[in-house]
Amino acid sequence: MKKNYKELFTKYKEGAATVEERQQVEEELERFEALSQYLEEEFHDGSLEEEMNELVPKEVLDVEKLVKRRLREVMLKGALLSLLLLGLIFYGLSPLVSTFFYNPMNESLSSVEKDVSIDLAVLSELTMPEYASSSVYVESKGFGRYQMRYSITDLFHQNSLVTENKVVRGSVVETLNSLYDREPLFITPLEIMREEKESRKQREDIHELLSGLASTNYGSVSVLFKNSLSMEELRGFQTKYENIRLQWVAVENGQGVQTSSLITGFSPLGSRRSAHLFADETLLKEYPGLHLLEWLVQPGERNQDGASLEAEGYEKHYEALLYYALDRKSEISVLSERLKETEVLEESAAYVEEHGVHTYGVLLDGTVEDLLVLLKDETVEWMEIKEMKVLAP
C-alpha cells in the first residue's frame, strides 16, 4: 500500500493523476493535516519535534516545503516588479514629462556652460544695471521640477548673494533672495528731470552734498543726458572722463526714458561685469559682438561710416544681447516674470533697426572730485546718487 501510495502521490505532484486518484491523495492529506493539528494542540513541547517528523509522512513535508518556496518566489517577484515599475516611472516617464517643459539642464548653446547660465547672464546685463550673475547650478527633481542655484554680485560693493529658484514645469514657483524687484536706474519721474528749474535745483543739491564729503568717498550715480548720445558720442564722453568708470548704458527704445518699467542696456568697456560666459565660439558665430572684447580683437565686418572701433563694438554688443534675448525669450522669461509681461525686447529691436543705438543715461562710479567735475558738464541734465562708500587707504 505504501508503494502504491507513493506512486500515486508522485502522479499527483506531476499533475498526471485522475480525478479519483487526486481525491484519494487529498483525503490522505486532510487526514495528515488533522493529525498534525491535533498533535500541535495537545503537545506544545519542542521535544516532540523529532517524533513528529517520524509520524508525518515525508511526502507531506515535501508539499509544505514546495508551498513555502513558491510563496517566497511570488513575494520576491512582486517586490522586484514594484521596483521595476518605480524605476520605469522615475527614469522613463519623468524624462518624458520633462521634455514638454522648460529644462534648465540643456547644453545646446555652449560646449562648457548650461543654456540657463548664458540666459541669466544676458538677462542680467540687459536689464540689471547694478548686478551681474554667475554660472547656474541645476539639480533635477524629476517630472519637470528643478532646483537652480546661482550668485548675484553687486557691481559697486562686489558683494555676492546666493539666489535659489524652484522651477516647476516651466514656472518659477519659489525664489530665495530675488533681486528682480530692484530699484530702477532713475527714481525721479522724467517730467521732473526734464524740467529746467527742478534740474538746476537738483544739481545744486548734489553739488552741496558732494562738497561736504571727504575725498576718500566713492559714489555710484545715475546720469541723465540733456540729449541722447550716439555710441560715438558716448565713447567721447567716456574718454573725456578717464577716471570715471561707466558701469551700464541705458539704450533708447522709442518709449522715452524708462524710470519705472523694464529698461534695456549693456555694460561698456571698463565695467566690472565679467563676460566670460559669452566667449564660446559657437555663440560668437551666431551672435557677433556678444563678447565685446573678442569682437574688438577680431571685428570682422565693419560699417564704413567712420565710427571708431569701440563705438561699433558697443552697437554690435547691444544688438547681440538683444537678439539673443529675443530668440530665447520663452526660456529667459522663466527667469523674469516682468520680461514675460512686456514687449520691451520687440520695441527695442524695432527702434534700433530704424534709428541705431543711442543712450539717454548711464550708471557710473567715481570719486567725489570726479563727480563734482562731471556736474559741470553741459551734456548732463540730471544726477542721482545711488550709493556711497569710503575707499580704503
Question: In the predicted model, is pLDDT for residue 340 greater than 60?
Answer: yes
Query: In this structure, what are the phi and psi dihedrals at residue 293, rounded to the nearest 5 degrees?
Result: -65, -40
Query: Is residue 378's pLDDT more than 90?
Result: yes
User: Residue 137: which residues within 8 A CB-CB, separation 6 or more?
Assistant: 148, 149, 150
* Torsion angle of the four alpha carbons 138, 171, 155, 319, in this order, in degrees rounded to the nearest 10: 100
Last residue of a domain, one of 176, 206, 222: 176
CA distance 166 to 180: 15
Range of the domain at 383: 190-390
Q: Please indicate, yes or no, if residue 171 is contained in any of the structural domains.
A: yes
What mean pLDDT is reported for the chain? 82
Q: Is the predicted pLDDT of residue 59 greater than 70, yes or no?
A: no
> Per the structure, how many domains does the chain have?
3
Regarding whether 90 and 44 lie in a shared domain, the answer is yes
Mean pLDDT of 369-381: 95
Q: Are 201 and 308 part of one and the same domain?
A: yes
pLDDT for 52 equals: 47
> Rounded mean pLDDT of 193-200?
93
Q: Tell me the pLDDT band of 38, cut-offs 50, 70 and 90.
A: low
pLDDT of 118 over the 90 cut: yes
Residue 364 lies in a domain: yes
Residues 198 and 172 grouped into a single domain: no
Q: Domain for residue 339, yes or no?
A: yes
Question: Are residues 358 and 249 both part of a single domain?
Answer: yes
- Choice among 106-110, 200-204, 291-295, 357-361 with the minimum mean pLDDT: 106-110
Could you say which of 149, 176, 203 is where a domain stops?
A: 176
Which cell numbers in the block locate residue 107? Answer: 547644453
| pLDDT score of 1 more than 50 | no
- CATH code of residue 157: 2.30.30
Instruction: Round to whole Å and give the CA distance between 94 and 87.
Output: 10
> Which of 16, 17, 14 lies closest to 25 in space, CA to CA?
17
Average pLDDT estimate for 126-131: 92
Q: Are residues 194 and 170 in the same domain?
A: no
Residues 172 and 245 reside in one and the same domain: no
Do the strands 217-230 and 380-390 form a parallel or antiparallel pair, or are they unpaired? antiparallel
Identity of the residue numbered 278: F
* Same domain assignment for residues 200 and 223: yes
Specify whether 132 is located in the same domain as 243: no
Determine, yes or no, domain membership for 107: no
Residue 119 included in any domain: yes
Do 259 and 128 share a structural domain? no
Is residue 323 situated within a structural domain? Answer: yes
Please list, in sequence order, all residues whose beta carbon lies within 8 angstroms of the beta carbon of residue 345, skipping any fewer than 6 positions away.
264, 322, 325, 326, 329, 339
Provide the Cα torsion 325, 331, 337, 340; round to 10°: 60
* Residues 245 and 274 placed together within one structural domain of the fold: yes
Q: Is residue 350 part of a domain?
A: yes
Contact by Cβ (8 Å): 390, 217:
yes
Look at residue 283 and tell me if it is in a domain.
yes
Question: Do residues 194 and 315 share a domain?
Answer: yes
Do 349 and 266 reside in the same domain of the chain? Answer: yes
Q: What is the pLDDT of residue 66?
A: 63
